Amino acid sequence: MEQMIFIRKDDKVEVFSEEEELKGSYYRAILEDNPTKLGHNKLKVRYLTQLNEHRLAPLTEFVDQRFIRPVPSEDVNDGVVFVEGLMVDAYLKDGWWTGVVVKTMEDEKFLVYFDCPPDIIQFEKKKLRVHLDWTGFKWIRPDNKELVKSVFSCGTMVELRFDCAWIPVIVIKELEKDKRFLVKYWNKSYSCRESKNLIVDSLRLRPMQPPLSVGKYELLDHVEAFSGFEWRQGVVRGIVFEGRYMVSFGATKEASQFNHSDIRPPMEWEDGVWHKRTKPKRQKETSLDGNRNVQTKEPPGNEMADDVKKESGLPITLGVTATKNKTQGKVSPVPMKNGFGNESTREKMPEEPKIKYYTRKRKRGGLKLNSYINKTVLSSDRTPNVVKNSASNAEENHAKHTIMVLPFAKKSPVWKTYESLEVFKSVSHSLHFSPLFETKQDFREGYAIGMMVTYFGLLEKFKDLEADVPVSQLNSLKDSFSELEKHGFNVTTPLSRIDKLLALKDRQLYIMEELKGFDKEMTNEFSKAKQEFDDMEQKILEVKHKIIELQRQEAALKEQKEAEKEQKDAAWKKICQMESCAKDLNVELEDVEFEFETILSAPW
């Protein structure tokens, strides 16, 4: 650094630009005048990366000598640690622009702030060099800038409120005295988006929401999804498979698919602290007799009922439904169907006011109805009055006209236990076990009891299915239910629902294949566009090299022409001198001849 450096004609130099749009930048050029000549305040330069107005030849102009400096050494970055506050030169738009590092990113990338015009741009380290000031004969490195850190300081990633969405932006600078900020759009992966800078009020800004670890989202969960370039409020409408969800926005029910990484729980920034968004409290309900309040009950941590109420505007009734007995003035419970109830029977029930009891259990992210809990609403005399459902009545009427002959005698006490379960009574079965006539008498009742156990096990297995269940498992369940149907079990509803799930799995597979096709097509298009862009850059680089080579040849030919001109002038001058000498010699020769003749003709 201490060694004296001087520039001469034909040296590569850097020229400081005074133009308004290019102020603060340096461009490479060839010096075409010698700076040591006296009386020359401006020197002629020929730019290497800028063309004239016709864009056919390099731009040449006369520049004040104080705006010209040598080209810094290639090893200028050796031993320099790039930290926040370091003054650097960034290569941008064919020139070197002076700025300050305001944030260090991953993979040796840095955010650089430029003052004129105010802006922040991300650069790789190979596009940066430490800034040096030229004194006229040596380089001097300036001290690092001291950056003031705050919630909305320069280079901070924040979110901008726009309608009902939050857009990621980066703070460029704070405007003085009016609590407003200059910001620009910034995508979720912290990359710059080509956009105009915006001036916004501080009330519309908040820090980036901190990441929260959420294992999985449930149906009807309120979330924020990153759509396009903004975080939008939405509701989970479906779970495609593990890690991918269908989310709808606003009043529309149309949903789009999102990855788990593009979804986050909604939070609020208040008084400098992040808070989880709270839900409205539950309201107490009055029982049918008007004398006592019943508090709806829900397992801790389960917020699904709130979401269903909010979406449909209707009450939720799970577990037991209460109907009013008009003749006795009592309230009687009617058991609800557990998973596979007869829907037509439910539709025939009288339209009466309902009291809600929640008997749900959360299991593997889903909701499980517990039909084995027998809850009733007591009337004024505290006596429960049970009303039989229409399915039981239908079974009794059928028994009056039909005598069922079983291939065995029901001796085991477990029959009464199984047949008394609500999940079994809620559906009308015609158990005949006729295929067991082909088996030995001693094994028939055991086989029948095993089928009862299998039936309940299949129902539980169906309820425990998850979104990523394989098709083979669904087909296996379908075959098992079909086998039970041969013995008189009513499996119409399970088979219907399994067929619906199989259709959904086919749709899921089709969507996944479509996504793979789109991903492949996007990858190919991106590769093609990148290859075309790289080819174009290579062609531009080759043209620039050709221009530089032609410029070098032009300069060499000009120098050769000047030298030949000087040689021609020297030769012409020499010829003129020789002609003058020849004339003098001719005159002298004539004098000699005249004197010779005079001597010869002289008289004796």
602 pLDDT exceeds 60? Answer: yes
Return the minimum-mean-pLDDT range out of 11-15, 18-22, 78-82, 111-115. 18-22
Give the pLDDT band of residue 357 (cuts 50, 70, 90): very low
CB of 275 within 8 A of CB of 268? yes
- Per-residue model confidence (pLDDT) at position 306: 42
Output DSSP code: residue 464.
T
Nearest residue to 452 via CA among 425, 428, 482, 484 = 484
pLDDT: which is higher, 594 or 280: 594
Return the minimum-mean-pLDDT range out of 208-217, 359-368, 532-541, 572-581. 359-368
CB of 96 within 8 A of CB of 25? yes
Average of pLDDT values for 428-457? 91
Give the pLDDT band of residue 2 (cuts 50, 70, 90): low
535 pLDDT exceeds 50? Answer: yes
Average of pLDDT values for 197-212? 87
CA distance 472 to 124: 51
- Per-residue model confidence (pLDDT) at position 99: 93
Instruction: Tell me what the pLDDT averaged over the chain comes to.
Output: 77
- Per-residue model confidence (pLDDT) at position 496: 92
Give the pLDDT band of residue 190 (cuts 50, 70, 90): low
Strands 58-64 and 42-51: antiparallel
CA distance 465 to 469: 6
CA distance 252 to 247: 11
| Ordered domains of the chain (ranges, CATH) | 1-71 (2.30.30), 214-272 (2.30.30.140), 413-489 (no CATH)
Contacts of 298 (CB under 8 A, 6+ apart): 282, 305, 358, 360
287 pLDDT exceeds 60? Answer: no
- Per-residue model confidence (pLDDT) at position 314: 34
333 pLDDT exceeds 50? Answer: no
Give the pLDDT band of residue 507 (cuts 50, 70, 90): confident
459 pLDDT exceeds 60? Answer: yes
Residues 185, 189, 192, 195, CA torsion sign = negative
- Per-residue model confidence (pLDDT) at position 3: 58
CB of 9 within 8 A of CB of 32? yes
Average of pLDDT values for 287-305? 38
- Per-residue model confidence (pLDDT) at position 521: 86
CA distance 52 to 455: 87
- Per-residue model confidence (pLDDT) at position 317: 33
Length of the chain: 604
421 pLDDT exceeds 50? Answer: yes
Give the pLDDT band of residue 479 (cuts 50, 70, 90): very high
pLDDT: which is higher, 130 or 193: 130
364 pLDDT exceeds 60? Answer: no
- Per-residue model confidence (pLDDT) at position 450: 93
Give the pLDDT band of residue 102 (cuts 50, 70, 90): very high
For residue 286, give Cα distances in angstroms to 296, 316, 336, 544. Answer: 10, 15, 21, 84
- Per-residue model confidence (pLDDT) at position 345: 36
- Per-residue model confidence (pLDDT) at position 447: 92
What pLDDT, in 10s, does the model give residues 380-392?
Answer: 333 333 333 444 4
Contacts of 351 (CB under 8 A, 6+ apart): none
Output DSSP code: residue 197.
-
CA distance 173 to 281: 42
CA distance 446 to 408: 10
Give the pLDDT band of residue 279 (cuts 50, 70, 90): low
The single residue listed with the structure tokens 């009862």 is: 452
CA distance 246 to 255: 5
